[in-house]
Structure 1
Amino acid sequence: MIRILVCLMLLVGTVVQAQDTFRNPLLSKGPDPWCIYKDGYYYYMHTMGNHLELWKTKNIAFLKDAEHKTIWTPPAAGPFSRDIWAPEIHFLRGKWYVYFAADGGDNQYHRIYALENSSQDPMKGDWVFKSKVADAEDKWAIDASVFEHRGKLYMIWSGWEGNKNGRQDIYIAAMKDPLTISGKRVRISKPEYAWETKGDIGDPNLRHVDVNEGPEMLKYGKRLFIVYSGSACWTDDYALGMLVADEDSDLLDPASWKKKPEAVFKQLPGNNVYAPGHNSFFTSPDGKEYWILYHANDHPGDGCGDKRSPRIQRFTWDKEGWPVFGKPIRTDSLLKSPRL
């Protein structure tokens, strides 16, 4: 009997240890990852290209074992039937929304679209296609994210100034409701530093693309941070940059946003991590740990496709209230799961 009890104790200890630790990546592939935590569950999405899929799990570190399902398949043709990128799920004003970029097969017509679900559990109920979400100029747009600050909704995204490719900037606009932008878009960042202007593509008609994309909100203390991806995703130089504004400032005033001149999270060949970017943020279930979720490649030259895989790691804050993201961790590193 004693021997059986000892064996059971050892087995339980092994299971607990297995649930308490993990290794990146969370999935073998998954570009543009996003997750939020609500009512005891993480909800996760990434770019699938031809449909929208949603994961639900109590422990994001074990995403590979999570329940998941297709929540929307696009029509066979039309302006939002192809190239479905960077979906994000948000709970706003009592309903669930998914924002995503799509076109009809021609990149120059990429725009932001939205689905709505009134069920309390987004894995249930009906996901209903609602509309395009655009400002009055209705220019090329991808990578939309929505956040609330002091009772007001804002959308941030990556867009073109005109109608031609060549540079992607970060824009912000106020929202009347989760489906409607009110007022004009405002550019708060454009590629200007060396680290965010790597984008040669070898096309004689378009030799270079400068990129700011994937903006994500991070609030802490009395500051608002927008962490975004700079340089082209097909380069190993793809990395994260940061804008910061005071919580009391006018978020629609470009002067309110200050940009750090250097990347805050970038490739680390010594750890076999290349092109880390398109991130999002979450906390542990107890709210005490801060984590960054991002995609990266394992090898140089892996490019901007399905070799990108989602990874998570903890980050901290310095005494002045600035995020300290550290360096991207090797995929063979054993990490502790987010604290429950």
Structure 2
Amino acid sequence: MQLGFTSCKSDDGGDKQHTPTPPPISEVDSTFTNPIVNNGPDPWVYQYEKVYYYTHTMGNRIGIYKTDAISELGEVRSTTVWTPPASGPYSKNIWAPELHRIDEKWYFYFAADDGDDKNHRMFVIENDSPDPTVGTWEFKGQVTSTSDKWAIDGTVFDYEGQLYFIWSGWRGDDDPGIQQLYIAKMTNPWTIEGDRVMISEPTYDWEKNGLVNEGPQILRNKNDEVFLIYSASGCWTDDYKLGMLTLNEGGDPLNPDDWQKKSEPVFSKKPEHNAYGPGHNSFFKSPDGTEDWIIYHANPESGQGCGNNRSTRIQKFEWTEEGAPDFGEPVRINTPLDKPSGEVTE
């Protein structure tokens, strides 16, 4: 059953995909500046066959930006690929969509409700086209454990051939003022098996400026060790930041004791760089595969909270000798940075 499908029309009424005419090679700039998108809360990037598919929270629809040069994302027009029905349980507050390719099909996971936040749940749509900006998106249903509690910020990952779903939720049915991270096993890309398991909740002081753990993202190093990067404290504060869990070698993702939480945040605000509340991130590789990059949102000024001032920024990160990610600190906006390696024509 197909619900809320729209044609893949550009959001600004123009061509479906805007490709600027490249300047002569001699004029190609090897640098860019942050932010790359001025209004881009909850940014997500999926990299497939040398193409970057980017999306962020739009609230009333799901759209995709398609580009082979992510530093130039601001020059690309988005394509609306799905619009919700006018009413019902997934008609309003479309938050933090994530695009994934699983078994030769595309899946968009997103949070939505009926206009009442306490009814937020996770949902998924599917597209079998080779290109997610075209074709038909079919509504597959709600992604839920047997407990069916409040849920946002869902993501999927494969571990040793088994698919898992991780999200942020409430322990009960009413807003407790606290969000935890939950995980569950999946039988297919739209079905959870059994009930959820809580693997993280705010325990350190830096997670308690607003008792929130949300925005989980899986990151692997070259040895295939598993890290879970998440957003901590409230997005309405300047102290929204990133924390990290590490899965024990050979550990069971469904066993909370096999996830080790780092006692300090791994990415925090930098006021002198106009980076307040940096968080809700994802990751990508440079076009030539030699560099690791983080994409995240942050506010340029203090006190701007969870609104449309959250802009999308990208920066390269490194790895420690022990194999853990080292994100450094948010880079200064409006300052030239080298573009991802391989993006510039030599």
Partner SS state of residue 91, structure 1: strand
Aligned to 1:256: 258
Correspondence for 2:238 among 236, 239, 248 = 236
Maintained 8 Å contact 2:248/2:260 = no
Partner SS state of residue 62, structure 1: helix
Correspondence for 1:174 among 175, 185, 191 = 185
* Equivalent position amino acid for 1:216 in 2: Q
Distance 2:158 2:178 in 1: 28
Q: CA deviation at 1:11?
A: 5.6
Aligned to 1:102: 112
Aligned to 2:168: 158
Distance 1:135 1:302 in 2: 34
Q: Which structure dedicates a bigger proportion of its chain to helix? A: 1
Distance 1:286 1:251 in 2: 31
Report whether the alignment pairs 1:32 with 2:42. yes
Q: CA deviation at 1:65?
A: 1.8
Taking every aligned residue pair, what percent have the same amino acid on both sides?
52
Structure 1: any 5+ residue segments left out of the alignment? 1-9, 200-209
Maintained 8 Å contact 1:90/1:96 = yes
Deviating 4+ runs (over 4 angstroms): none
- What's the RMSD between the two structures over aligned residues? 1.2
Aligned to 2:6: none
Distance 2:301 2:92 in 1: 28
Indicate how the Cα distance of structure 1 residues 13 and 189 shifts in structure 2: closer, same or farther if over 3 A, else same.
same
Distance 2:269 2:195 in 1: 35
Query: Could you state the TM-score of these two structures normalised by the residue count of structure 2?
Result: 0.90
Partner SS state of residue 78, structure 2: strand
Distance 2:77 2:273 in 1: 31
Aligned to 1:214: 215
Maintained 8 Å contact 1:268/1:328 = yes
Deviations 1:233-262 (A, max 9, x none): 000010000000134111110000000111
Aligned to 1:321: 323
Aligned to 2:61: 51
Report whether the alignment pairs 1:91 with 2:104. no
* Equivalent position amino acid for 1:12 in 2: I
Maintained 8 Å contact 1:37/1:285 = no
Indicate how the Cα distance of structure 1 residues 74 and 11 shifts in structure 2: closer, same or farther if over 3 A, else same.
closer
Aligned to 1:134: 144
Maintained 8 Å contact 2:35/2:334 = no
Correspondence for 1:198 among 198, 209, 212 = 209
Aligned to 1:204: none
* Equivalent position amino acid for 1:60 in 2: I
Aligned to 1:14: 27
Report whether the alignment pairs 1:120 with 2:130. yes
Moved more, 46-55 or 239-248: 239-248
